[in-house]
Structure 1
Amino acid sequence: MTPDAILALYPWALGTCFRCGEADVFVTHLDAITTPHGERYELSACGCCVLMLENERRRYAGRRGLDYRPGSLGS
């Protein structure tokens, strides 16, 4: 699957990438975390970081003999 096809699996909006810190770029929502004090932080990643995370998932699946299907980060 091409990088463009993988990125097309996610919805995008302007925001800040939690992984690389780039601001005002297109990001996709991955998850949210809540601190022990009850503060909630949304985690979103830019396209470059999404592709790196997807590559890690693909490599992990390969090592474990599992099927890899892109598009489910944050699920």
Structure 2
Amino acid sequence: MTPDAILALYDWEIGACFRCSAADAFVTRIDEIVTPRGERYELSACGICVLGMEEERRHHAERKGFPYVAGELGRR
């Protein structure tokens, strides 16, 4: 699957990347952190970081013998 095809699987908006700290970048929501006090912080990642995390997921799936399906970051 090409990088463009992987990125097309996500919804994008302007924001900050939690992973590389890029500001005013196109990001996609990955997850959220809920503090013990109940505060919620959204985690979003830019395209470069999303591709890196997808590559990590693919390698992990290959090592463990699981099928790899792109586009599932942040989905449960």
Which TM bucket (shorter chain)? over 0.9
RMSD of equivalent CA atoms: 0.5
Query: Counterpart amino acid of 2:10?
Result: Y
Note the alpha carbon deviations across 1:9-41, whole angstroms, 9 max, x for none.
Answer: 000000000000000000000111111122110
Query: Counterpart amino acid of 1:54?
Result: E
Alignment gaps of 5+ in structure 1: none
* TM-score (normalised: structure 2): 0.96
Moved beyond 3 Å, runs of 4+: none
* TM-score (normalised: structure 1): 0.98
Note the alpha carbon deviations across 1:29-64, whole angstroms, 9 max, x for none.
Answer: 011111112211000000000000000000000000
Partner of 1:63: 63
**Identical residues among aligned pairs (%):** 65
